[in-house]
Amino acid sequence: MKYNGHPKIKKKRVSFAASAEHNLYAEVYWYHDLITLCDLDGNLKCCLYGEKWNADKSSKEGYYDDIIFCNNKIVASYWGDIRMYTKNGQQSVHQPDKLIIFDLAGNHLATLNIGLPIVAFCFDKENNRIIFSFDDEFQFAYLDLDGII
């Protein structure tokens, strides 16, 4: 790819999603409040800087975990908080509990507070919903997107 990552970030750790339909791929940075959008030829379209953006790496805080394309929207799981915590004397991973939604140009449309720790999620195009796996008493759920995005 022509674009290899933000020039101020020395160690890149990301998750990504690609859409052949929209000729885009999106990368969410784990340890920086940043999303990059590129075309499938690797040309940078834009950088989406969050409120907590800075180029310094800190493995104590996590920002984005995963990202998907939902029709003509981009949806990313976000926590923007401490990644690890102690529970019952054991070190545990804090999972993201929010979804941030963008249009294909990178404009912020909404932030949804899911309120449960999101382990994984995917888009069910046929039913226009997001299916979740949670680290909670409720392990699976879905969010019907009709009227939401």
CA gap 1, 16 in Å, rounded = 13
The secondary structure of 2-32 as a DSSP string is: ---S-TT-SS--EEEEEETTTTEEEEEESSS
- For the entire predicted model, the pTM comes to 0.91
Q: Would you say residue 19 lies in a domain?
A: yes
Number of domains in the chain: 1
Q: Would you say residue 5 lies in a domain?
A: no
Q: Which residues contact 36 (CB under 8 A, 6 or more apart)?
A: 3, 5, 6, 26, 27, 29, 44, 46, 47, 48
Confidence of residue 26 (pLDDT cuts 50, 70, 90): very high
17 beta partners? 26
Q: Would you say residue 131 lies in a domain?
A: no
Q: Which two tokens stand for residue 132?
A: 């979740």
Q: Would you say residue 34 lies in a domain?
A: yes
Q: Which residue has the higher pLDDT, 3 or 77?
A: 77
pLDDT over 90 at 24, yes or no = yes
CA gap 97, 47 in Å, rounded = 23
What φ, ψ does residue 143 adopt, rounded to 5°? -120, 115
CA gap 59, 78 in Å, rounded = 15
Confidence of residue 81 (pLDDT cuts 50, 70, 90): confident
CA gap 10, 3 in Å, rounded = 14
Q: Would you say residue 56 lies in a domain?
A: yes
CA gap 52, 34 in Å, rounded = 9
**Cα atoms in the Cβ-side hemisphere of radius 13 Å centred on 147:** 2
Decide if 40 contacts 62 (C-beta within 8 A): no
Q: Would you say residue 136 lies in a domain?
A: no
pLDDT in tens, 110-132: 999 999 999 999 999 999 999 99
Domain span holding position 74: 14-116
Q: Would you say residue 88 lies in a domain?
A: yes
How confident is the model at residue 50, as a pLDDT? Answer: 93
Q: Would you say residue 145 lies in a domain?
A: no
Q: How far is CA 117 from the centre of its chain?
A: 13
